[in-house]
Amino acid sequence: MLAVIVDQRGRPTVQLRDLRDGKILPLRHFSRHQPHSSPSLSWNGRYLAVITQKGNRRLTIIEDRLTGRIHPLPLPGGRDPVSLSLAPDARQLALQVADQGHWRVELFDLSQILEPDPIRGLKRSTPTKEVRP
């Protein structure tokens, strides 16, 4: 699966494509609030993070494609999102922001907002060693 930005009636719009057959996959919450930019997917495509625009304000939105829920990520203090990168397991989001002419990267812990999307085959603990007397 690949998230891309395409020109749709003159507006940059996020689109999901299945790499196996090239089909466009449906998105519930991204048919408006264009322009879209900086799409980022969790490892299996459950979560899609995108920067959108509502009026004159840039917003960061995460769609849970499994449940259909949308999770806006509010930025206090007049900061505007510039680009983003979602961790493969969707536990963190790196967000480049513009704040009064200065750019910086902020990390957001999403563990209280999103259900983790654990990577398959990843061991969660170290195997115990058998101790023999």
Q: Is the pLDDT of residue 130 over 80?
A: no
In order of 12, 36, 99, 106, 130, the CA distances from 103 in angstroms are 23, 20, 6, 10, 52
Is it true that the peptide bond before 35 is cis, omega within 30 degrees of 0? yes
What's the total number of domains in the chain? 1
Please report the pLDDT score of residue 74 as a whole number: 86
CATH of residue 98's domain is 2.120.10.30
For 62-110, write each residue's pLDDT tens digit: 999 999 999 999 887 878 999 999 999 999 999 999 988 899 999 999 9
Asked if residue 102 belongs to a domain, the reply is yes
Please report the pLDDT score of residue 4 as a whole number: 94
Asked if residue 130 belongs to a domain, the reply is no
For 12-56, write each residue's pLDDT tens digit: 999 999 999 999 998 988 887 889 999 999 999 999 999 999 888
Domain enclosing residue 98, as ranges: 2-109
Please report the pLDDT score of residue 17 as a whole number: 95
Asked if residue 33 belongs to a domain, the reply is yes
Residues 47 and 86: beta-carbon distance below 8 Å = yes
Please report the pLDDT score of residue 56 as a whole number: 87
Please report the pLDDT score of residue 89 as a whole number: 94
Asked if residue 117 belongs to a domain, the reply is no
Asked if residue 131 belongs to a domain, the reply is no
